[in-house]
A and B are shown apart, each in its own frame.
Chain A
Amino acid sequence: MFGNRNFVVAVVLIVALALAVLPTAAQEGEAVELTLMGWSSSSAENDRLQQMIDDFNSEYEGQIHVTLNLVPEYDTTLQTALAGGEPPDVFYVDSFRLPDYVEAGALMPGEDLIEEPDDFYPSLRQAFTYDGVFYCPPKDFSTLALFYNVDMFEEAGLEPPQTWDEMRAAAEALTDEDAGVYGLVLSADFARWIAFLYAAGGSVTDEDFTEMTINSPEALEALEFYTGLYLDGFAATPSELDSGWNGEAFGKGLAAMAVEGNWMVPFLADNFPDVNYGVVELPEGPAGRATMAFTVCYAVPAEAAHPDESWTLVNWLTGPEGMAQWVSLGLAMPTRQSLRDQWLEQFPELEPFLNGAEYAHKWQFIPGFQDVLDTVNDNIQRIFAGTQTPEDALAEIEEVGNEVLERYQAERAEE
């Protein structure tokens, strides 16, 4: 079929091709190469982070060189990299996902490596503490607060609500169904309702995740209040207001109030610059104020190739100076209490969000809790649709939750 010479040539060509596609080891300079992996957010934030990385690189010229890698579909990419044994040197971890990564042994404890840990807000330090160990310093955070449309409130002669009763009264007064305007835009979402659950004095589970505590009179009060706003017609879901999420409905002026986080501020500035809005802390419930903190940290993998350099980078980014630079855009809030006053001078209108850090709860459970979250969302959605009652919903959530907690405790006992 072919002569021997042709055959040799073919083999040589194939080998040459194979070698060409193999990665070649880079041996330029002696700087330690690090990769920082995160997800992409607004372009302003991405640019600022890149700029900080550039500053870091010039400060550590010849010693450390960092490459920023912002990926879409972050969780799947990170999970694959970790399971493949080649994790990035530093990466984002959302407080919600922390238990999964810790239980999988993927993170290096930062306990004695993080600089000035006591300066971080206790609620945020808590969000990255698991089984008593502080893993990674929070890079920034967001809390929930109440956005209100100043024009609508003034026209109705109302003050922004401070309590649940005032909130309900305002929602009722500002609803004009014929005009298609509602007092409140409310999503059937656990991540919003849970702030009301805490404000009513309720809780989801006990401290040690041994059993559910959600089937309580306090939780029922919170659930009846939240879903009641919708069922009584003072609130509408974003989709009913032709919107993808609360922020869009509020921006379009179809709702007078919205429970959202500070990420909505740049969104409104970009998309609805004419909306005259104000922000107050979430209204006080029967047991006082409560909000949720959503936060992300810079973590170093357990099997870090260059642990010292990685922690140098993390501490540089979250240290007082790096943090001050990072939050100077006003898109992110400082997690260090020492930066509070300086930051508020620059962004006084964002004070309600920052105040939330004092009494915020962490958005974090245990590995496998997604089943419970989905069940809560499912039940709130069914209450909204009129096919479920708050009492039955809490009983169902309790049952599913206890099943998940029991499994979790059994797995821990085995280890």
Chain B
Amino acid sequence: MIQFFGRSYDREDLIAGVLFILPAALIFLIFLVIPIVFAVAISFTDWNGISPPSEANGVGLANYEALLTQPGIRQSDFFKALKNTVYYVIGVVPTQTALALLLAVIVNQRWLKAKGFFRTAFYFPSITSSVVISLIFMWLFTRGGLINYLIGRIFPGYNPVNWLDDPTGLIHNILGLLGVTLRSAPDWVRTKVLGLTIWDWISGPSTTMISIMLLNIWTTSGTMMVIFLAALQDIPRHLYEAAYVDGATGWRAFWSITLPMLRPTIFFVVTIGMIGCFQVFDQIFVISSGGPAKTTLTIAWMVYRNGFMNSDMGLAAATAFVLFIIIFSLTLLQRRLIGERMQI
């Protein structure tokens, strides 16, 4: 018998066990743990990403200060990226979750014909390359594209929106309709908070960002739908039967049985949705490169830009680490909120 991590094992069992997990453990170690430790170490240096990392100088917390506390372009860009990313998350996560749930409930109906077709069709975007989808969306959303054409058919006299090149924010536009512009707004909106004026903070997602949000909602809801579908089919039938015996309507059963039973799944879907949204990169890379007017500058795009276009891998690593902390804390918070009474 051998002692291992406080438990005793038969010697051969132990060797066999370790050998079994070795491939996965090695991959995990080499491609995940070591790079993460390396990235954290880099974030405390001024490494330019070109010369060997051993030549980089330690700069202590300077990269974090540049991002978070020291007024300047790096701080204002970081908070601009954070603002854009947060609007993106707020727009995408609830919408895609609700849409995925709706789709899952529909394709779970027993009266539905051609279930296989609908399930495949809804899931299809998820298995298509995001670059290809982005290119197709660029095509649909150009000024003279299909989207504007359809809107124009429904609302004659519609002045085509230039979806992919319009930096005006949603909330700014709504305020504009109400007659509030930067010129007519009170002076306090020009106060700078963390590198951005209050007016900039409340811009809302730009029109271009909204197009990218629609794209992402469309792509990911399929994956989420499959997860919901699996969970829906796990709910025991007898719960519904008991409810109908007690006179519950379908609507009531949905609110009182389906949703509570789906709680762990909703937590899961919201969490992976949120993580994915905070890391949005490929669509930005293909469609807008952070423009127009920095309104699609997201944190992940900023990491790439600083690391590979601006010779500042240290700052890029620090940005990535701050992003990790944001995602990690939000996940914990969410576990508190949604997951309270749930057991995983």
Partner of A242, one of B12, B142, B290, B308: B142
**Cβ A239 vs Cβ B142 within 8 A:** yes
Interchain CA distance A240-B292 in the complex, whole Å: 13
- Cβ contacts under 8 Å, A124 to chain B: none
Binary CB contact string for chain A from 373 to 406 against chain B (1 if under 8 A, 0 otherwise)? 0110110011001010000000000001001100
Partner of B49, one of A83, A368, A375, A385: A83
Interchain CA distance A154-B308 in the complex, whole Å: 47
- Cβ contacts under 8 Å, A84 to chain B: 52
Q: Could you say which of A1, A84, A106, A403 has the most chain B C-beta atoms within 10 Å of its C-beta?
A: A1
**Cβ B309 vs Cβ A367 within 8 A:** no
What's the tally of chain A residues with a CB closer than 8 Å to chain B? 37
Interchain CA distance A94-B50 in the complex, whole Å: 15
**Cβ B167 vs Cβ A101 within 8 A:** no
Q: Does B263 contact A (CB under 8 A)?
A: no
**Cβ A239 vs Cβ B74 within 8 A:** no
Q: Does A85 contact B (CB under 8 A)?
A: yes
- Cβ contacts under 8 Å, A79 to chain B: 49-50, 308
- Cβ contacts under 8 Å, A382 to chain B: 167, 293
Which A residue's beta carbon lies closest to that of B181?
Answer: A387
Partner of B292, one of A101, A188, A411: A188
Partner of B162, one of A83, A188, A239, A375: A239
Q: Does B185 contact A (CB under 8 A)?
A: no
**Cβ B12 vs Cβ A2 within 8 A:** yes
What's the tally of chain B residues with a CB closer than 8 Å to chain A? 38
Given the contacts A79-B50, A83-B50, A371-B73, A239 and B143 also touching, CB distance less than 8 Å: yes
Q: Does A370 contact B (CB under 8 A)?
A: yes
**Cβ B50 vs Cβ A104 within 8 A:** yes
Partner of B293, one of A1, A76, A367, A381: A381
Shortest distance from the beta carbon of A353 to any chain B beta carbon, whole Å = 27
Given the contacts A2-B16, A371-B73, A239 and B48 also touching, CB distance less than 8 Å: no
- Cβ contacts under 8 Å, B167 to chain A: 381-382, 385, 387
Q: Does A358 contact B (CB under 8 A)?
A: no
Q: Does B13 contact A (CB under 8 A)?
A: yes
Q: Could you say which of B72, B77, B293 has the most chain A C-beta atoms within 10 Å of its C-beta?
A: B293
**Cβ B50 vs Cβ A381 within 8 A:** no
**Cβ B293 vs Cβ A82 within 8 A:** no
- Cβ contacts under 8 Å, B72 to chain A: 403
- Cβ contacts under 8 Å, A103 to chain B: 48, 311
Interchain CA distance A66-B21 in the complex, whole Å: 43
Interchain CA distance A414-B242 in the complex, whole Å: 77
Q: Besides the contacts A100-B48, A385-B293, A387-B182, what 15 more A-B pairs have beta carbons closer than 8 Å?
A: A83-B53, A103-B311, A239-B143, A239-B165, A240-B143, A241-B143, A367-B311, A374-B290, A377-B291, A378-B293, A378-B294, A381-B292, A385-B166, A387-B167, A403-B72
